[in-house]
Structure 1
Amino acid sequence: MEGASGGTALRHRPLITTRARALRKQMSEPEVILWTRLRGRGSGRPTFRRQHPIGSSIVDFYCPTARLVVEVDGSAHWADEQQGKDLRRDRWLESQGLTVIRLPASMVYRDIDGAMDWILSTAEALIARQSVAPRLAPSTIRSSADGPPPAAPRGR
């Protein structure tokens, strides 16, 4: 299985895609509320996908440009056993180069604007960080077709 840069770890199988489609029709109320706000594509905002398959998991929301996963956690996620599963899943997603936000469902009900601010500011920060990653200037990139590197000057 390759990592995030290679790609196969993040690909999904047809069965998981079918399950994701079914989950899109059975979203929880907080997920529906959040999706009505996230799905807008205007004004230069990053785009999100809902109930998106990643590997063998289906995440609530995914922003591919930012490599951001957003999970809405209701009361089922409060149990110790479920928290352990969530932690293992988050670690796997992070090992694939993704960032995970866990948003309490109560926040969606109480403060949807605050939830949106948190999600969008995180996505924008991740996108900005990717765009300022160190890059080599084209003049410093060499290939084997360029021949051997120039000899270093010798001291006199």
Structure 2
Amino acid sequence: MRRIHNKKYLKPNRKKLRKSLTPAEAFLWKQIQNKKLEGRKFRRQHSIENYIADFYCPQERLVIELNGEVHNNETAREYDRKRTEVLNNLGITVIRFENKMVFENLHYVLDEIRQNFRN
């Protein structure tokens, strides 16, 4: 069986990203770390295949992505679309939120995450 999670070559990148979370990522992380959301464990900057997800809940096979301005161009949207397709084909659900949603409507974001729990 081939390895799809936390490939060694991505470890330095994952580590760097964990040390430099965006403000939105840091804010959401405070809400979901340590099983604070319905007892689910989330990992931050977790790699699956050749991609690094902002947050991943193994129990739910759920990826949460936060999108900032860098995602507002056609190239980035196409990359995100392909990435979502690859993850969906692995049985992983991907949900995306704009960074500003985390700050402006946290309750909505957390409710949307909960609605994507399978169990």
Fold conserved (TM > 0.5)?
yes
Q: Does 1:19 align with 2:13?
A: yes
2:30 paired residue number: 36
Q: Does 1:101 align with 2:104?
A: no
Report how far residue 18 of structure 1 moved.
2.0
Classify 1:120/1:106 alpha carbon distance in 2 versus 1 (closer, same or farther; 3 Å).
Answer: same
Q: CA RMSD in A?
A: 1.5
Aligned to 2:97, what secondary structure does the other structure show? strand
Report how far residue 14 of structure 1 moved.
1.4
Report if the CA contact (8 A) 1:9-1:96 is conserved. Answer: no
Report how far residue 40 of structure 1 moved.
3.1
Give me the whole-angstrom Cα distance separating, in 1, the residues matched to 2:74 and 2:96.
16
Who wins on radius of gyration, i.e. which is larger?
A: 1
- For residues 37-63 of structure 1, the C-alpha deviation after alignment (integer angstroms, 9 at most, x for no partner) is 010325852110000011111000000
Give me the whole-angstrom Cα distance separating, in 2, the residues matched to 1:28 and 1:121.
24
Give me the whole-angstrom Cα distance separating, in 2, the residues matched to 1:36 and 1:88.
29
Report if the CA contact (8 A) 2:44-2:55 is conserved. Answer: yes
How many residue pairs are counted as aligned between the two chains?
A: 119
Give me the whole-angstrom Cα distance separating, in 2, the residues matched to 1:41 and 1:13.
24
Matching residue's letter, 2:5: R
Report if the CA contact (8 A) 2:63-2:94 is conserved. Answer: yes
Structure 1: which 5+ residue stretches go unaligned?
Answer: 1-5, 128-156
Give me the whole-angstrom Cα distance separating, in 1, the residues matched to 2:47 and 2:64.
13
Give me the whole-angstrom Cα distance separating, in 2, the residues matched to 1:99 and 1:74.
20
1:88 paired residue number: 82
Q: Percent identity?
A: 30
- For residues 88-121 of structure 1, the C-alpha deviation after alignment (integer angstroms, 9 at most, x for no partner) is 0000010111000011111101011111111122
1:46 paired residue number: 40
Classify 1:86/1:80 alpha carbon distance in 2 versus 1 (closer, same or farther; 3 Å).
Answer: same
Q: Which has the higher strand share?
A: 2
